[in-house]
A and B are shown apart, each in its own frame.
Chain A
Amino acid sequence: MDYLGLIINIFVSVAKTGNDRHAFTSSSRAEIRTLCGNWRESRQIDRSKASSLGKLSEARYRTMQFYSRRKKLIGNSQTEQLYGHCLQFYGQPPIENISLSEFETFAVDRLKLLKTVENLGVSYVKTSELYTKKLDAEFSNLNFPYKIEASTKDDWKPQTGPSEYEKRRKDHISHFILRLAYCQTEDLRRWFIQQEIDLFRYRFNDLPSKNIGQFLQYNNLHYHTISIDEKKKLMDKLVTSSFAVSGSTVDGKDFYKVPFQDALDLVRTRKVYLNGGYVYIPHQDIVTIVLNDFRTRLSKALALTARSLPAVQSDERLQPLLNHLSHAYVGQDYSIQKSIGKISLEQIDPLSAKSYPLCMRQLHRGLRDSHHLRHGGRMQYGLFLKGIGLTLDQALQFWRSEFVKGKVDADKFDKAYAYSIRHMFGKEGKRTDYTPYSCMKVILSNPPSQGDQHGCPFRHSDPELLKQKLQSYKVSPSGISQILELVKGMHYQLACQKYFELTHSIEDSGFSLNHPNQYFMESQKLLGGPGAGVKVEVKREDNPATKPPNPSPHQTPGPGNLPQEVAAEITEDLDSFFQDA
């Protein structure tokens, strides 16, 4: 079946009261707003509009008609069959209607799961107990299916929370949503495939032996086990072809017969017995085969998805969300600091050496050395300074004093640069209060060119130069090689985390680095400095005109008038981009 991209027929969840023009309840409105930041009410599409498909183009209308017709053919039995196994190969896209809010929740939750997979994967050995424990906890928290024993128990009798069926459905749908978000560039695809593979491997290895056979059959993977007789006949050959295989292994474990084209790495290195075009793989190695298959399929699917993406992106409800998912910073955004005013300008130099992440240290150094920074650098560093607690006046003073030492006189500074600094603090123009850039944003957007100082040094610096820089900052040689290893594996944030650990002389940073200001805050916490006392604030819309009547427009945190689960969501704003220039 051709994967024509996921066309989800989205409609607004119907308010229980029915004919409301704004079909959202106030709580779900707030939920969506906080999840998606700057959505104004006018963007909410009411039910009547959606059903008449007024906003959709002719072509999409027809495509959706096609899918809804197909959907009629698929009865309930199909969906049951679809989720008959707790582990999925994601061969078929989901074809059903879901609400916007479910769409977003699913996507955000899976993203959190994948990020956890990434972080745990480099912090712990993948087979270790800690890894298992932490990852299982995350599965449970986010309501994704994992343990097969658990699933057979609460399959038809959910004890608490969503049923196994619902978990699997979430797994299925969220995967496809993220495909939409992560298919567009090579970097995004690579990241997504890597995490999905690690996730799949973890869950596959967890499957008991008989379920593996079931899984293979279910997904039409033609890897058959060989009979005991055949094993006996081939005993010698099997033992001499694989290093890890002994006579007892052959007796005890299953061997799979796989076409050699599906096991090229094993063939190339002659690590397996090959006969008649088939390789004979011991059970422990079948994972590699299945993973390769998974990788190939996912890679092809993403390429196909990227081609069909324009159709999906033309839907204005989806486009901003998908864009922001792929740059999502799922964590605090450090927009408003409680420690505002607690840092003095004299402290900046020592702070830059002690508590700045490498990118900001580089920017600060660049500013001090050349008394100037280009726009990208000013934005990245300027917003960071705001995040650590500088007031507007302090910022103006800071930048002016530096620029004036260079080629810019005070007048020119006031005319040209001061405006943009005030802009950063939300005092000019549309007065949006910009949020400091997260690591994701720094790494993925606006790569530096010649003469630029911004960006992420772990991502954008040549490894040789990075090494020299780290040496000049007195990082130990073994530490440097650890960092370079992480950089080679493209784990830039983890490399920065390692830099944190080395410069603070600790074993484990205790946090997952996602944001330069987080780095600063954690560092200050450790050192007992002034920048540490920060509570995360909710990002609120500054424009009172669009504020809903319920929550009061002040800036302290607290659930206030919002339902419990939404409050939890509030502390995890989806996106810091909405506020960008």
Chain B
Amino acid sequence: MTTADYDQASLPDLLPLYYRRLFPFSQYHRWLNYGGVTKNYFQNREFSFTLKDDIYVRYQSFSTQNELEKEMQKMNPYKIDIGAVYSHRPNQHNTVKSGSFQALEKELVFDIDMTDYDDVRSCCSGADICPKCWTLMTIAIRILDRALRDDFGFRHCLWVYSGRRGVHCWVCDEAARKLSVAARSAVAEYLSLVKGGDETVRKVVLSDPIHPFITESLTVVENYFSQYALLGQDILGSKEAVDKVLALLPEDILFLCKLLQYFQTEKNPEKRWDTIRSMAQDKRMTAKKGHYFEMEIMLQYCYPRLDVNVSKGVNHLLKSPFSVHPKTGRISVPIDLRELDRFDPFEVPTISLICEELDQPKTEEEQDDNMENENKKEAGERRKMRDYKRTSLAKYVKLFDNFLEEMAHSRKGEVLKNSDLQKDF
């Protein structure tokens, strides 16, 4: 059973099945409700749907989980986006006095897109990805997740595969949801090291002092650089590739000549890189200003490139976890950071796969589960719970469950802390 069986034309048949029996509504609602701490948090959340024939509807909102389910099952959206929590119900925004309808809160989000790396990857371009360049996403997740946790103190970051060529991060901490536009922009700037468009050759510029954040990020890059860049991308192999690297070196004729001469004889990329490295270190010893070009090269080829505009806006809409990507059929699933190096985007289940899996007979394990649960829950719910568990989607929903459990735990901790402070017993 291969995932290559997916065909966009079959979406109208698959989607109803997906939304009726597989989409994890209960967990989804649990997430966006955030423990019901703030009144109307779920009710004032904006969703947007892209329906068949590219019909786009915004300002969708729902009072209950049930209502959400019914609507989605009715509309069978091709794409689902999540927006901000507003001051009023988004589906009533026209009745609100102009100026009063405001986006109040939203998760802090990041969008890493492989196309932003086209100038530094040689294996693919555009919407294509392969196992070789996927390492860039791995590096991005490691660097950003560390920074969000250690530097900013955020504890609940949900990393999601976008379904085609990138990853998203949803930072769900209460402090993150309450961040202002200025704060989001500042966070995104802090995390940005690669700057410049097509006209800029040297996109990373480092100077003294090297901030601890940069040092930490470099440590991560160094772990992957040899395997990914020198071998996988072969950046010091062909003449064309070498020229690109040389363009990032200081314009010191003597220096470049020496290097080129050296490259005449030495063809091994690792050795070539070692030379460049030691030359950089030498320069740092002698010159007044810091020369960090070997670090700049590593960062330019590997450091995460994020779209600041996605992170800045409180009202920015972003693809929802567990939505389907129409072009690939893949489900936007959470990524397990404990198994990050083993994550393979090509193993992510497609909607056609999991719908197929639904029809398979139950295994023995599941039959035992059924016996236990039968007495506890209603038939419909039972069936639903069993259903996604039968498919490849199961482990991803479990991941999501763990994530939600952690957040609930945090919330409880907060409540206890606050009541202690107020001496409530």
Contact = CB atoms under 8 A, between A and B. Distances in A.
Nearest to B214: A270
Given A264-B183, A267-B186, A268-B189, A276 B211 contact: no
Given A237-B212, A241-B211, A277 B152 contact: yes
Nearest to A261: B183
Interface string A344-384: 00000000000000000000000000000000000000000
Contact of A270 (B180, B185, B213): B213
Interface string A245-285: 00000000000000011001101111001111110000000
A264 B189 CA distance: 10
A240 interface: yes
Contact of B154 (A237, A264, A267, A277): A277
Interface bin, chain B: 20 to 34
Contact of B151 (A243, A268, A275): A275
Interface in A439-482: none
**Which of B179, B180, B211, B215 has the most C-beta atoms of chain A within 10 angstroms of its own C-beta?**
B211
Contact of A264 (B182, B208, B209): B182
B381 interface: no
Contacts of B187: 267
A275 B154 CA distance: 10
B250 interface: no
A274 B190 contact: yes
Given A260-B152, A268-B189, A273 B179 contact: no
Interface residues of A, number: 20
Interface in B211-225: 211-215
B109 to A, nearest CB: 18
B153 A277 contact: yes
B179 A240 contact: no
Interface string B158-189: 00000000000000000100011011011101
A261 B179 contact: yes
B150 interface: yes
A277 B186 contact: no
A240 B153 contact: no
A242 B182 CA distance: 22
A240 B211 CA distance: 6
B37 interface: no
Contacts of B175: 261, 277
B186 A268 contact: yes
B212 A273 contact: yes
**Which of A242, A270, A275 has the most C-beta atoms of chain B within 10 angstroms of its own C-beta?**
A270
B257 interface: no
A239 interface: yes
Chain B interface helix/strand/loop/mixed: helix
Given A264-B182, A277-B175, A270 B209 contact: no
A267 B179 CA distance: 14
A261 B150 CA distance: 16
B210 interface: yes
A278 B153 contact: yes
A261 B215 CA distance: 23
A264 B185 CA distance: 9
Contacts of A243: 208-209
A240 B212 CA distance: 7
A270 B190 contact: yes
A242 to B, nearest CB: 8
Contacts of A267: 186-187, 189-190
A243 B211 CA distance: 9
A288 to B, nearest CB: 14
B212 A268 contact: no
Given A268-B186, A268-B189, A274 B213 contact: yes
Contacts of B153: 275-278
A260 B187 CA distance: 9
Contacts of B151: 274-277
A276 B150 contact: yes
A268 B179 contact: no
A356 to B, nearest CB: 45
A349 to B, nearest CB: 54
Contacts of B186: 264-265, 267-268
A388 B139 CA distance: 75
Contact of B190 (A242, A268, A277): A268
Nearest to A272: B211
Contacts of B215: 240
A279 B215 CA distance: 17
B183 A241 contact: no
A265 B185 CA distance: 10
A270 B179 CA distance: 18
Contacts of A264: 182-183, 186
Given A276-B150, A277-B153, A270 B211 contact: yes
Nearest to A238: B212
A295 to B, nearest CB: 13
Nearest to B188: A268
B59 to A, nearest CB: 28
Contacts of B190: 267-268, 270, 274
A278 B179 CA distance: 15
Interface string A542-581: 0000000000000000000000000000000000000000
Contacts of B150: 275-276
A274 B150 CA distance: 9
B410 to A, nearest CB: 14
A275 B146 CA distance: 11
A269 B209 contact: no
A269 B152 contact: no
B176 to A, nearest CB: 10
A241 B212 contact: yes
Nearest to B207: A243
A393 to B, nearest CB: 57
Interface of A: 237, 239-243, 260-261, 264-265, 267-270, 273-278
Given A268-B190, A274-B213, A275-B153, 17 more contacts: A240-B210, A240-B212, A243-B208, A243-B209, A261-B183, A264-B182, A264-B183, A265-B186, A267-B189, A267-B190, A270-B190, A270-B211, A270-B214, A273-B212, A274-B152, A276-B151, A278-B153
26 contacts: A239-B209, A240-B209, A240-B210, A240-B211, A241-B211, A241-B212, A243-B208, A243-B209, A261-B175, A261-B179, A261-B180, A267-B186, A267-B187, A267-B189, A267-B190, A268-B185, A268-B186, A269-B189, A270-B190, A270-B211, A270-B214, A274-B152, A274-B190, A275-B153, A276-B150, A277-B153
